[in-house]
Amino acid sequence: MSIRINQAQQRYASVQGFVGALERLDAAEALRPTYVALTEAVFWAVTIEDDLRREGWYEERRAASPHWRVMPGVRYARNFATHQVVALTEHVGGLTIPFTVPLSVEPERTLWLPFDELPPPDRETKYTLAQQESYREHLAGKPTLETLVTAQEWFRSVQDVALPGR
């Protein structure tokens, strides 16, 4: 007997994978778990996006969504994470030594690297410039989780047609 996952199940599983990666990213307290969860999250985000692009309603919904604008930058980050294995983030905040009085502790956060600190891509396509612009505007210097929650909002905005009957 053979059992295969259908498209609806695959789409739902991809969304679950993305949400799970976001939860692990939010809970990560060290660099390695942060890197793993972040890389997984950008992988799932682009996988979901690639799946949605095939739908007839995609272009109209994409054009109407302010949240979609983060996706080319997320794809740019995913390309680095999977093709060039480039560290895309920096961990900031927390207690630093030496400390001064009065003592203040910045919250720990993981930020996307500034665009100028990324190496050039190994390969460029006709989409590279738009992806770079999206990275500059929506990712560079911003908290990783915040950016990926914006991607999640894009997916939520289309779930009525992407996951009918949910």
Task: Give 93-137 pLDDT, tens digit per residue.
Answer: 555 566 666 655 566 778 999 999 998 888 899 999 999 999 999
pTM: 0.86
The residue-averaged pLDDT of 37-51 equals 96
Q: Are 38 and 61 in contact (CB under 8 A)?
A: no
| Other beta carbons less than 10 A from residue 28's beta carbon | 19
Residue ranges covered by each domain of the chain: 7-162
| Other beta carbons less than 10 A from residue 163's beta carbon | 13
What local confidence, expressed as pLDDT, does residue 108 receive?
72
